[in-house]
């Protein structure tokens, strides 16, 4: 686990004035990494750090000599900590670097953000206990959770090529579905398109093939956290997912926040990881005293919907849900790393682990429309009178997240948004 140090000090202020505004996502205590270029250009993506409403070109500061984000992620924990400290000192009020670094800043409004790193592999887990229970009850009322759920972190390997940065616009997927009263399936546009509110955990330094990562060492292999929307075609999923799990229902689009909030930045926002007393406790390879003490992350997550009619009427987006990850996740990020590698699987810098849908225990904390509408049975009535059971063409869905706590400055994960377009003509 990362220790709280001088880079987290609540009294720390930056010479970048916008970083000192209350309730901003990117104060000097955050310093998330991403890749950017000037909007409208075709230049190569460069590594940047968000500070207030600006992006700091990290190579232009002289602190790094590469534009390869994966190489930076592969650094040792000590090297990453030293880099964070140097960035913090250079951006702090009174720093001798202010004059030299001013030219390395660019307004975020003037840049185009790409994926924060090169993603080599993508595994999506299913850690949301309330999501799993609610969805399971829709399909298996007498047995919502499968027998293995509380023993093993469930996951499947996803598609890397369709992962895009925030702002992704994608066509409604086509696929095979089968109505309950139909004799045979048919092919057509998805009718039950959904979002999934998730976190993405990005791997820093990997492991050698055949060498598992012990849970006590797992956090040293985690670089940071980002927001993730694992778009889902629920009707296609219902027909295809047995016996091998999701396929076409998931691989058409995945949207990722452009900013990686590092594990160092999250140090003040850790929480206890506790199982109900009557639940089975993790097997030894998934258990560690420090993981129990502070393995969970205290992150508030929100979902916002902006429909085409809202935009036409000049209305802003409407919040659908708000919840917290400390309540939602049944497995910690460290446990996912330990389980992923227990068989000898090698993780690499930039590998992405999805948390699965992080729904809370209350209806207003659901992380998908499947839950909010109870499988389409209870339409959601929006403020402008529109009804939704699932997403419609023209809908823009945005996930937001932030951390706050006593004795710490609020930091944000930014946001990730995506817009649904009409399906391709048959």
pLDDT range class, residue 190, cuts 50, 70, 90: very high
Task: Check whether 139 has a pLDDT greater than 90.
Answer: no
Residue range 344-356, pLDDT digits in tens: 999 999 999 999 9
- Report the pLDDT value the prediction gives residue 120, as an integer from 0 to 100: 93
Average confidence (pLDDT) over 372-387:
96
If you count them, how many residues does the chain have?
Answer: 426
Q: Six-digit token pair at 10?
A: 């609540």
Band (134; pLDDT cuts 50, 70, 90): very high
Question: What structural domains does the chain harbor?
Answer: 6-113 (2.30.30.230), 122-421 (3.90.850.10)
Does 150 have pLDDT greater than 80?
Answer: yes
Residue 138 pLDDT more than 90? no
Catalytic residue, from 131, 306, 339, 340: name it. 131
User: Residue 277: how many CB atoms within 10 A of its CB?
Assistant: 6
- Residues in a beta bridge with 202: 224, 352
Residues 200, 411: Cα–Cα separation, whole Å: 17
Least confident of 243-247, 295-299, 315-319, 321-325: 243-247
Per the annotation, does 357 bind a ligand? Answer: yes
Tell me the percentage of the chain whose pLDDT exceeds 90: 94
pLDDT of residue 102: 98
Query: CA–CA separation, 386 vs 388, rounded Å?
Result: 7
Three-class SS state of 361: coil
For residue 186, pLDDT beyond 90: yes
Residue 42 and residue 133: Cα distance in Å, rounded? 46
Cα dihedral 174, 177, 181, 183, rounded to 10, equals: 100
Residue 281 annotated as lining a ligand binding site: no
Q: Please say if the pLDDT value at position 425 is more than 80.
A: no
The residues pairing with 324 across neighbouring beta strands, listed in sequence order, are 300
- 259 close to 48: Cβ distance less than 8 angstroms: no
Residue written as tokens 């800043």? 105
**Segment 99-115, tens digit of pLDDT:** 999 999 999 999 999 99
Checking if the pLDDT of 404 tops 80, the result is: yes
Residue 165, pLDDT score: 98
Distance of CA 221 to the CA centre of its chain: 17
- Mean pLDDT for 45-67 is 98
Q: ∠242-367-150 over CA atoms, to 5°?
A: 55
Radius of gyration of the chain (CA): 21
Structure letter (DSSP) for residue 50: E
Residue 140 in marked binding region: yes
Under DSSP, is residue 312 helix (H, G, I), strand (E, B) or coil? helix
State the pLDDT at residue 116: 98
Read off the pLDDT band of 92 (50, 70, 90): very high
**Average pLDDT value over all residues in the chain:** 96
Judge contact between 197 and 367, C-beta under 8 A.
yes
Q: Do the annotations mark residue 237 as ligand-binding?
A: yes
Region 219-247 average pLDDT: 95
102 annotated ligand binder: no
In the residue annotation, 8 being an active-site residue is answered as no
Instruction: Give the helix/strand (H/E) hosting 236.
Output: helix 234-240
Instruction: Indicate whether 214 pLDDT > 90.
Output: yes
- What pLDDT does 178 receive? 94
Q: 196: annotated binding-site residue?
A: yes
Q: What is the mean pLDDT of residues 129-154?
A: 90
This prediction has a pTM of 0.97
254 labelled ligand-binding: yes
Query: Among 228, 278, 210, which residue's Cα sits nearest to residue 127?
Result: 228
Whether residue 64 contacts residue 51, with contact meaning beta carbons closer than 8 Å, is answered with no
């Amino acid at each position: 686990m990362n220790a709280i140090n001088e880079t987290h000090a609540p009294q720390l202020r930056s010479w970048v004035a916008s970083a000192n505004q209350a309730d901003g996502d990117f104060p000097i205590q955050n310093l998330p990494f991403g890749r950017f270029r000037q909007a409208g250009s075709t230049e190569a993506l460069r590594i940047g750090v968000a500070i207030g409403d600006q992006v700091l070109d990290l190579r232009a500061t002289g602190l790094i000599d590469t534009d390869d984000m994966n190489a930076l992620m592969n650094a040792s924990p000590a090297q990453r900590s030293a880099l964070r400290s140097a960035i913090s000192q250079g951006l702090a009020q009174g720093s001798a670097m202010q004059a030299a670094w001013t030219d390395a800043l660019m307004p975020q409004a003037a840049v185009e953000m790409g994926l924060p790193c090169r993603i080599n592999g993508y595994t999506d887990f299913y850690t949301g206990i309330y999501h799993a229970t609610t969805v399971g009850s829709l399909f298996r009322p007498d047995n919502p959770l499968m027998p293995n759920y509380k023993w093993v972190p469930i996951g499947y390997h996803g598609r890397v090529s369709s992962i895009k940065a925030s702002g992704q616009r994608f066509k409604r997927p086509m696929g095979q579905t089968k109505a309950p009263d139909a004799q045979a399936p048919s092919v057509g546009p998805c009718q039950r398109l959904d979002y999934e509110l998730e976190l993405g955990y990005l791997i820093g330094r990997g492991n050698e093939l055949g060498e598992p990562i012990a849970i006590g060492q797992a956090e040293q292999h985690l670089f940071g956290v980002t927001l993730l929307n694992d778009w889902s075609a629920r009707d296609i999923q219902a027909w295809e997912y047995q016996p091998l799990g999701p396929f076409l229902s998931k691989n058409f689009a995945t949207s990722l926040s452009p900013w990686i909030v590092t594990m160092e930045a999250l140090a003040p926002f850790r929480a206890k990881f506790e199982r109900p007393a009557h639940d089975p406790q993790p097997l030894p390879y998934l258990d560690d005293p420090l993981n129990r003490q502070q393995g969970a992350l205290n992150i508030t997550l929100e979902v916002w919907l902006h429909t085409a009619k809202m935009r036409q009427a000049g209305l802003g987006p409407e919040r659908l849900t708000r919840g917290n990850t400390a309540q939602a996740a049944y497995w910690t990020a460290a446990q996912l790393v330990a389980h992923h590698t227990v068989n000898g699987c090698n993780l690499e810098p930039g590998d992405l682990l999805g948390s699965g849908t992080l729904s809370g225990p209350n209806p207003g904390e659901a992380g998908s429309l499947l839950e909010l509408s109870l499988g389409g049975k209870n339409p959601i009535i929006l403020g402008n009178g529109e009804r939704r059971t699932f997403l419609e063409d023209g809908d823009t869905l945005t996930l937001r997240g932030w951390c706050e706590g006593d004795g710490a400055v609020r930091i944000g994960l930014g946001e990730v948004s995506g817009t649904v377009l009409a399906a391709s003509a048959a």
